[in-house]
Structure 1
Amino acid sequence: MSFSNLDQLYRQVIMDHYKNPRNKGSLEDGNLTIDMNNPTCGDRIHLTMKVEDGKVTDAKFEGEGCSISMASASMMTQTIIGKDVETAYKLSHVFSEMIQGKEYDEEDLDLGDMEALQGVSKFPARIKCATLAWKAMEKGLNE
């Protein structure tokens, strides 16, 4: 697959998550609630998660922002549901390395649709957009 075809595919994946977000909403029985924003561009997220016995059993988000921010939140919730907390942290670390254009070790982790965001590394101003949901998730798990 040529670079332009791959780039087009990645754009389609991002737009699909933006227009049809997965896990959008709020959990009534969530035990973690995190609100974060990116004052530079106005992105904001309200993340609710349910963590039981060291495992993320559910996650939902609400918010406003650019396509990258909202697509990333959709991908993040989709990726961490069903994972233990340690794996969620590892995924966050790998995502952060990838989004900054650094070498990253997947450690047999399935990045799924998140790989569509790796091109963001070429646009440093957009990195905060892509990482907002992940930082919210980490903040929630740390509390």
Structure 2
Amino acid sequence: MQTPTQNQDELRELYRDLILDHARSPRHFGKLESATHCAEGINPLCGDKLKMYFQIDANQEIRDAKFEGSGCAISVASASLLTETVIGLRTDNAIDYFTEFVTLLGGEPAAKETAAAKVDLGKLKALAGVREFPSRVKCATLAWHALNSAIQQHSTPVSTE
């Protein structure tokens, strides 16, 4: 029988493997030619620079999502996981995920996010360990702030500073 510490170590290992997998082989990487919404995100501290693309239909459903750019393993993995998560969601549900994710990492979400309903973050919980490294939280949340900016149709790039 395993101890709680052994179980936590195994879970941490699984989460690390998931992050590395998404960093090495990001899903939905590239420019989305049919994008209706997009936003740039810049993290000057780490050098991360991402551009998030979303195809949002008339019913406010995210039909497709992609990203391009470069960054550390955490920012790339987070962007990859974001695209997997939001495809098929309505924009208001995507904002709920943004809120929960930023809150999970100990950050302060911007705008409407205080009354968001709880959502199951699923695989996104793999990035929860980042909160132990405050300078890396900005890497993990960069794509999510860009998602929020794209949905709100803000024209200026999002910066973590």
TM-score, with length taken from structure 1: 0.92
> Which residue of the partner structure matches residue 157 of structure 2?
none
Matching of residues 1-143 of structure 1 within 5 Å: 2-52=7-57, 53-100=59-106, 107=118, 109-143=119-153
Query: SS of the residue aligned with 1:23?
Result: coil
* Aligned AA (2:50): I
Q: Is the 8 A contact 1:79 1:112 kept in 2?
A: no
> Structure 2: 5+ residue runs without aligned partners?
1-5, 109-115, 154-161
Q: Assess, with a 3 A threshold, how the Cα gap between structure 1 residues 41 and 92 changes in structure 2: closer, same or farther.
A: same
Per-residue CA distance 1:63-82 (angstroms, 9 max, x = gap): 11111000000000110010
CA–CA distance in 2 between the matches of 1:114 and 1:63?
Answer: 20
> Structure 1: 5+ residue runs without aligned partners?
none
Aligned-residue CA RMSD (Å): 1.7
Q: Assess, with a 3 A threshold, how the Cα gap between structure 1 residues 14 and 57 changes in structure 2: closer, same or farther.
A: same
Q: Which has the larger radius of gyration?
A: 2
Per-residue CA distance 1:1-42 (angstroms, 9 max, x = gap): 622111111100000111111111111111112112101110
Q: What is the percentage of aligned positions where both structures have the same residue?
A: 40
CA–CA distance in 1 between the matches of 2:107 and 2:41?
Answer: 24
Q: Is the 8 A contact 1:50 1:58 kept in 2?
A: yes
* Aligned AA (2:129): G
The number of residue pairs the alignment matches comes to 140
Q: Is the 8 A contact 1:44 1:64 kept in 2?
A: yes
CA–CA distance in 2 between the matches of 1:113 and 1:20?
Answer: 16
Query: SS of the residue aligned with 1:58?
Result: strand
Query: SS of the residue aligned with 1:50?
Result: strand
Q: Assess, with a 3 A threshold, how the Cα gap between structure 1 residues 68 and 19 changes in structure 2: closer, same or farther.
A: same
TM-score, with length taken from structure 2: 0.82
CA–CA distance in 2 between the matches of 1:85 and 1:141?
Answer: 7
Q: Which runs of 4+ in 1 moved over 6 A?
A: none
